[in-house]
């Protein structure tokens, strides 16, 4: 571990020690103190808050939190926190939380100024324009008849405008530019070089309120009316708007990264990026929200990985244990109503339903899919088989009709004929029929045994007096 990371840990330990009078230790796990503020942070977010998945008392949550801490300690003992995948994911999250502390306002201001200066240079002293237009599309190289029709349409629109028609209303109903048509023809602000040359030349000749005769560009005919025009405002006036825009585009992250790299370069090789951010975290450990947010993510990743390795995946993949548990607890998984275990068949030809049923019967499992393509769907798809399902009444309309005697649903247009293949079961026959429930129960059983072994392996103490002060001080 880098020296700066050790510094962060040292600062954390000193902070915890300094706070102990006003922030007592509520539990000690393998010699590591858990102070009240840490416990409260977790409890108020997960266990004791209104709307929590399962609201717990402080004492109940303390038992859960102890188990959580034991798993994290075990993960650290197994050095899961040194695995490259863990380090990468954790550091990405940590860096995201620390970015606001490294934002360089001077850098952001320089980016804003640079964007303003570039736009001002592009304007070359000319006004910015806010035009409105009505467009009649005409593709280049269009047939003569289309060209005449487009010209006639734009001329008639212009004539209507000359006669007093409302520009916005005509734009909404007749313009071929849907985006601007919704706004009565209004376009964004433009400047030199930002739009079609012919459009720009005509627009710059207009004063506010003036309308020009039809102008042809590579996309068709335009009637342009000038909404307003103005000189570019001073930078200080536009700065808040520019900064808001570039913040939305990630300039804060860019400024933070630039600042970090500047510190790395100035250190002459003594520091790298990770060390710089370790020092930033150490400098802000007096902020509980940041401190615990980072810690929760760190510990949460370890908790997830070790639980997955020790309990979740082994239980899920131990089919013998799942079957044995199911056989010993059949009553627990009894159904109150039967299920259909099988497939639905949809076909373009009613004569294909029975042959498909025979095919699935002779070739159970995934093999039938290959044979289905060879036998029926070689040139085009004429049969579709879905499943396997384990469905009770009300969950599938096709199964409801053929298995549970419900009225037939409206047939699908492409595959109007249907059927099923499978059996109706009164009760589950193996763990596979109730796999999700059995997996959960086996995982919980192994989880309990694992927690018991961790409690025997690592010393711990819950300080009840301090625990009574949680949210009560």
Q: How confident is the model at residue 9 (pLDDT cuts 50, 70, 90)?
A: very low
Of 308, 327, 311, give the one whose Cα is nearest residue 438. Answer: 327
pLDDT in tens, 334-392: 999 999 999 999 999 999 999 999 999 988 776 788 888 888 998 899 999 999 999 99
Q: How many CB atoms lie within 10 A of CB 277?
A: 25
**Residue-level pLDDT at 409:** 87
Mean pLDDT of 241-264: 93
Beta bridge partners of 256: none
Ordered domains of the chain (ranges, CATH): 3-103+252-297 (no CATH), 126-230 (3.10.50.40), 335-426 (no CATH)
Q: Check residue 18 and give its pLDDT.
A: 41
Q: Is the pLDDT of residue 4 over 80?
A: no
Among 11-25, 88-102, 255-269, name the one with the lowest average pLDDT. Answer: 11-25
Is 98 exposed, middle or buried (CB count within 10 Å of its CB: 0-12, 13-18, 19+)?
A: buried
Q: How far apart are the C-alpha atoms of 366 and 353, rounded to whole Å?
A: 19
pLDDT for 363: 85
CB 419 within 8 A of CB 357: yes
Q: Is 19 exposed, middle or buried (0-12, 13-18, 19+ CB in 10 A)?
A: middle
Q: Which pLDDT does position 50 carry in this prediction? A: 58
pLDDT at position 10 over 80 = no
Nearest Cα to Cα of residue 176 among 155, 199, 150: 150
Whether the per-residue pLDDT at 443 is higher than 90: the answer is: yes
CA nearest neighbour of 72 among 404, 386, 298, 342? 298
pLDDT tens column, 125-169: 999 999 999 999 999 999 999 999 999 999 999 999 999 999 999
Order of strands, edge to edge, in the sheet holding 383-391? 383-391, 339-347, 417-425
In the predicted structure, residue 55 carries a pLDDT above the cut 90: no
Kindly list the distances between the CA atom of residue 215 and the CA atoms of 133, 198, 202, in Å, as whole numbers in the listed order: 10, 7, 7
Q: Considering Cα of 391, then 395, then 399, then 405, what sign does the dihedral take? A: positive
Question: In this predicted structure, what is the pLDDT of residue 339?
Answer: 97
For 170-192, write each residue's pLDDT tens digit: 999 999 999 999 999 999 999 99
C-beta neighbour count of 250 within 10 angstroms: 10
pTM above 0.85, yes or no: no
Place of tokens 């954390």: 12
Whole-number average pLDDT of the chain: 92
**Residue 118: pLDDT above 90?**
yes
- pLDDT single digits (tens) 282-323: 998 888 899 999 999 999 999 999 999 999 999 999 999 999
Residue whose C-alpha is closest to residue 161's, from 93, 102, 223: 223
With beta carbons less than 8 A apart as the criterion, state whether 206 and 131 touch. Answer: yes
- Supply φ then ψ for residue 122, to 5 degrees: -65, -35
In the chain, what percentage of residues exceed pLDDT 70? 94
Looking at residues 25-44, what average pLDDT do you find? 96
Q: What tokens does 45 get?
A: 């977010």
Check residue 7 and give its pLDDT. Answer: 35
3-state helix, strand, coil in the chain (%, to 5): 60, 15, 30
What does the pLDDT read at residue 17? Answer: 42
Mean pLDDT calculated for residue range 265-285: 91
The answer to whether residue 2 scores a pLDDT higher than 90 is no
> Whose CA is closest to 214, among 174, 172, 173, 178?
174
């Amino acid at each position: 571990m880098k020296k700066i990371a050790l510094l962060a840990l040292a600062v954390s330990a000193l902070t915890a020690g300094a706070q102990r009078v006003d922030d007592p230790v509520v539990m000690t796990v393998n010699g590591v103190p858990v102070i009240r503020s840490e416990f409260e942070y977790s409890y108020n977010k997960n266990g004791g808050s209104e709307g929590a998945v399962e609201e717990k008392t402080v004492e109940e949550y303390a038992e859960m939190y102890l188990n959580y801490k034991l798993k994290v300690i075990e993960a650290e003992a197994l050095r899961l926190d040194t695995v490259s995948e863990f380090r990468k994911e954790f550091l990405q999250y940590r860096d995201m939380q620390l970015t606001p502390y490294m934002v360089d306002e001077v850098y952001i201001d320089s980016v804003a100024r640079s964007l303003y200066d570039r736009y001002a240079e592009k304007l070359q002293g000319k006004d910015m324009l806010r035009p409105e237009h009505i467009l009649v599309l005409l593709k280049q190289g269009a047939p003569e008849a289309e060209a005449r029709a487009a010209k006639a349409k734009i001329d008639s629109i212009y004539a209507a405008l000359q006669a007093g028609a409302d520009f916005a209303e005509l734009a909404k109903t007749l313009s071929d530019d849907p985006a601007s048509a919704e706004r009565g023809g209004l376009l964004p602000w433009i400047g030199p070089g930002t739009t079609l040359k012919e459009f720009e030349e005509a627009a710059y000749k207009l004063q506010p309120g003036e309308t020009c005769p039809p102008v042809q560009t590579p996309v068709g005919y335009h009637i342009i009316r000038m909404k307003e025009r103005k000189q570019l405002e001073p930078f200080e006036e536009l700065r808040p708007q520019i900064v808001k825009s570039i913040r939305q585009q990630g300039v804060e992250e860019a400024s933070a990264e630039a600042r970090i790299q500047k510190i790395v370069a100035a250190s002459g090789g003594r520091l790298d990026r990770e060390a710089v951010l370790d020092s930033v975290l150490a400098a802000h450990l007096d902020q509980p929200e940041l401190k615990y947010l980072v810690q929760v993510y760190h510990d949460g990743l370890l908790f997830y990985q070790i639980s997955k390795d020790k309990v979740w995946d082994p239980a899920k993949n131990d089919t013998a244990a799942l079957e044995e548990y199911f056989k010993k607890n059949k009553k627990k998984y009894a159904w109150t109503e039967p299920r259909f275990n099988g497939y639905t068949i949809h076909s373009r030809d009613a004569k294909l339903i029975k042959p498909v049923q025979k095919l699935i019967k002779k070739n159970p499992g995934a093999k039938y899919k290959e044979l289905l393509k060879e036998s029926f769907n070689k040139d085009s798809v004429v049969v579709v088989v879905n499943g396997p399902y384990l469905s009770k009444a009300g969950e599938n309309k096709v199964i409801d009709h053929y298995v549970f005697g419900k009225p037939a649903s409206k047939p699908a247009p492409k595959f109007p004929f249907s059927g099923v293949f499978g059996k109706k079961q009164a009760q589950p026959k193996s763990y596979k029929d109730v796999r999700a429930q059995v997996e959960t129960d086996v995982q919980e059983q192994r989880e309990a045994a694992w927690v018991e072994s961790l409690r025997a392996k690592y010393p711990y103490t819950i300080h009840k007096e301090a625990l009574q002060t949680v949210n009560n001080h």
